[in-house]
Structure 1
Amino acid sequence: MSLPLDNRRSSSSARSLQKGQATRAAILDAALALASNMGLEGLSIGALAEVTGMSKSGVFAHFGSREELQISVIREYHAKFEEEVFFPAIREERGLPRLMALFENWIKRVSVEIDSGCIYISGAVEFDDRPGPVRDALADMVRSWQSALKRAIELAVEVGDLQPDTDAAQLLFEVHGLILALHHDARFLRSPGAVERARAGFARTVSHYAAAGAFERAKLPAAAPARR
């Protein structure tokens, strides 16, 4: 017994939609790999068509413009960043355990990107003085991540792991600076031990703001004393 015509059309439409979504996801994966190695400015409909083996019109049909392609890649990168860095960390206890997990997951992400590149960092260099939708999308994603990290710092203050007068914005700035230094030394200079230095810097920075006994309560290693 054959399906009614309306049901056959509905089934066909559903398959077409699934196929279109799968194709778009495959294009985005290829675009993300290209952008990680060549930067967002290295992305083009033509380059992506060549990599994926599709026609330019086929790629264009999914994104419509190079600008929309770049913005879609930024959003895809942010989604993967959240999956690897943010979501696993928020399962940790509020306070230093969660803050430490956020930083540790971030370090692991940067370590993976040493041979490719961080779109947040490379994109900031490419678009720091170029206003427009791509820059806005990139800045929004970075601000979103910084807000999450700042909130983790504020929660650490609320639970008593950090001193009540901790300047959350300042600590955020210092922690972010450690990641930028790690990316620079590990990717550009290829300096050995950069990851360990970043971890040591984080422990020392946080210990400056930590309440008495916080490291012990959170079962975290204490910061090594500064060398004289």
Structure 2
Amino acid sequence: MTDALSGEGAGTPRAEGDPPIVLGITGASGAVYAARVLRALLLAGRRVDLIFTEYGLYLIKLELGLTAVSHGRLEPLRDHLDVPQTAWDRVRAFRNHDLAAEPASGSSRFAGVVICPCSMKNLAAVALGLSETLIQRAADVALKERRPLVVVPRETPLNLVHLENMLRLARAGGTLIPAMPAFYQAPRTFDDLGDFIAARVLEHLGIESDLVPRWSDVGPRGHKGERPQTPAHIPAAPRPEPGAASP
């Protein structure tokens, strides 16, 4: 990992290859989603510019049990993700208040921005064009440069202000992927649920993954084309008669 937190890495040349993805982690509950998105990006061979809000980092500590993590010490997160050091070396970390950092400029060559999880405060700021932090500015750059902006809001219930801000952001060109995982893939762990959201995020960044099986016209299929067996106590899904209305 290149340490840009103190500003020392902000001008460090990047290796040749695909432009990085900017990943902003904010203080909405759902650190597992952030962790699985980061892991998926690294295992897909992508470089990541990582930005935490203060409460985003707090939730990494609280929800993932990584109490030793700090802005200057992210090795526990690397170990939690179980990625090789060669993958972790593709990560740069920035302070959220550093508006002079590379992701703040439209001239920087990042491929897209992901905010996961995204608090309603940060969603509102991006929807209204505010750029008071590096995460918000990077999102604004993505919109103005017509690059992918993928936002994973995590809040419930939603009030009218939340919904209107989401609508405003969608109209501006952002993609909203709420932290609402499906269950057809028979998840067994929280990581499985996180991987479902990570797969959707990567797909909207144009990055291939095999994190979860896809749904076909006859139901879910495994990674190699085999159909998972339906447990005996669960009846097979009925096939509608031709011309019948959808349920």
* Common topology (TM > 0.5): no
State TM-score, norm by structure 1. 0.25
Higher relative contact order (CA 8 A, sep 6+): 2
Q: Which has the higher strand share?
A: 2
Q: Which has the higher helix share?
A: 1
